[in-house]
Structure 1
Amino acid sequence: MTSNLLIFDLDETLVHATTEQLSRPADFEYAPYFVYKRPFLLELLIAAKPLYDFAVWSSSSREYVDAVVEEIFAGFDVKFSWAVERCIQRVDAQSNGYVYIKDLRRVQSHGYPVERITILDDSPEKIARQPRNHVKVKPYYGLEGDQELLAIAEELMVRSKR
């Protein structure tokens, strides 16, 4: 049986990176950024590990993604880690800027059918091609009392049984 795959976005989903330090020390730095891990990140990873294989897909640079993955997934197997170069760049008609699409069909080459993939992301426009696979995460901006990942862990338990 094929495993379930859980793909994590990074910025504002699992971490908050800012050039201005918050009122507390950063969990780590990636110059020029102070990076703050979202509360209950480790608990989420521990809860999801028996049910999912892990991957990362961010619209950030390759160097940044590698550095953050090394910090927050230490001790966990990550099947692949993708950065902006694996996204599809499209013009956003509303903002006239760019949006980076994460088309989950690209993941099938790793042996995961789309119906067995779940992606955690704070940006629904990035996963608009497969909205049923998306677990929307409220954006994280460094708030210490944030409990979003506890609720996400519960939702993932239910999804893994489908």
Structure 2
Amino acid sequence: KQDQDRGKKTLVLDLDETLVHSSFKPIPNPDYIIPVEIEGKIVDVYVLKRPWLDHFMNAIAGCFEVVVFTASLSKYADPLLDLMDKAKVVRWRLFREACCPYEGNYVKDLTCLGRPLPDSIIVDNSPHSYVFQPDNALPIGTFIDDPNDRELLDILPVLKAVEKVDDVRVTLGTLVQQLAHNQLQRRSVYGPG
């Protein structure tokens, strides 16, 4: 850990379908267009930021050691993160080669970070990604293009609640259940979003 992150929990964030949605097909009003070389050709990748992403990144800045751990290739994810993270909130970037292939999926093994598991949280839309450490997971719904999505806002109180606990794994389960209950209640009262 860097000096300014000593004593902080490590927050591991997935990229695609968690923080952003990307498409090789043009999408209306993309937040970013990332040119990527694939098989000798330059292809544009169109990227939408999840609603509230900038607010979320500002809220976690300084509170956590932030790591982006993605199954994407660095040739796409690196330039995207350069644009997305102007404030340099993300301390470390891990790409596909850091994932463990397991039963046809890319698993993000938190032990490869060299951080204590009681101090590590992973936010990912795919349960396959955290199958090795499910008790460290703060699940989030898949983001495609819903402009009313609030999930990054919804998880902020959970992150605040685990920021100072001794072992995130003890606390996360109860908080995740409460979050799911609250989201379900809001949807039944207000409809989706």
Q: Same fold (TM over 0.5)?
A: yes
Give 1:16's aligned residue: 21
Give 1:158's aligned residue: 161
Any runs of at least 4 consecutive aligned residues in structure 1 with deviations exceeding 3 A, and if so which? none
- For 1:138 and 1:21, locate their aligned partners in 2 and report how far apart those are by CA, in whole Å: 23
* Cα distance, 1:124 vs structure 2: 0.8
Give 1:121's aligned residue: 124
Question: Whose Rg is larger?
Answer: 2
RMSD: 1.3
**Does 2:112 correspond to 1:100?**
no
* Cα distance, 1:126 vs structure 2: 1.0
- For 2:7 and 2:116, locate their aligned partners in 1 and report how far apart those are by CA, in whole Å: 8
**Which stretch shows the higher mean deviation, 148-157 or 74-83?**
74-83
- For 2:25 and 2:74, locate their aligned partners in 1 and report how far apart those are by CA, in whole Å: 22
- In percent, how many aligned pairs have the same letter? 28
Ranked by relative contact order (alpha carbons within 8 Å, sequence separation 6 or more), the top structure is 1
**Does 2:50 correspond to 1:38?**
yes
SS of match in other structure, 2:121: strand
Counterpart among 99, 106, 125 of residue 87 in structure 1: 99
* Structure 2: segments with no counterpart, 5+ residues: 1-5, 36-43, 166-193
**Does 2:19 correspond to 1:7?**
no
- For 1:8 and 1:64, locate their aligned partners in 2 and report how far apart those are by CA, in whole Å: 16
* Cα distance, 1:20 vs structure 2: 2.6
SS of match in other structure, 1:26: coil
Residues 84-142 of structure 1 deviation map (CA, whole Å, 9 limit, x = unaligned): 00000123xxxxxx20011100001xxx2121111110001110111111110100001
**Does 2:90 correspond to 1:68?**
no
* Cα distance, 1:6 vs structure 2: 0.8
* Structure 1: segments with no counterpart, 5+ residues: 92-97
- For 2:146 and 2:45, locate their aligned partners in 1 and report how far apart those are by CA, in whole Å: 17
Letter in 1 for 2:110: L
Q: Would you say the 8 A contact 2:57–2:89 is kept in 1?
A: no
* Cα distance, 1:5 vs structure 2: 0.9
Q: How many residues align?
A: 152
SS of match in other structure, 1:7: strand
- The normalised TM-score by structure 2 is 0.75
* Cα distance, 1:21 vs structure 2: 2.9
SS of match in other structure, 2:88: coil
Letter in 1 for 2:116: P
- Could you say which structure has the higher helix fraction? 2
- For 1:73 and 1:114, locate their aligned partners in 2 and report how far apart those are by CA, in whole Å: 25
- For 2:60 and 2:89, locate their aligned partners in 1 and report how far apart those are by CA, in whole Å: 12
* Cα distance, 1:161 vs structure 2: 2.7
Residues 47-89 of structure 1 deviation map (CA, whole Å, 9 limit, x = unaligned): 1123201111000101111012112111123221010000001
Residues 4-43 of structure 1 deviation map (CA, whole Å, 9 limit, x = unaligned): 1111100000000012333x31001123321000010111
Counterpart among 25, 30, 33 of residue 29 in structure 2: 25
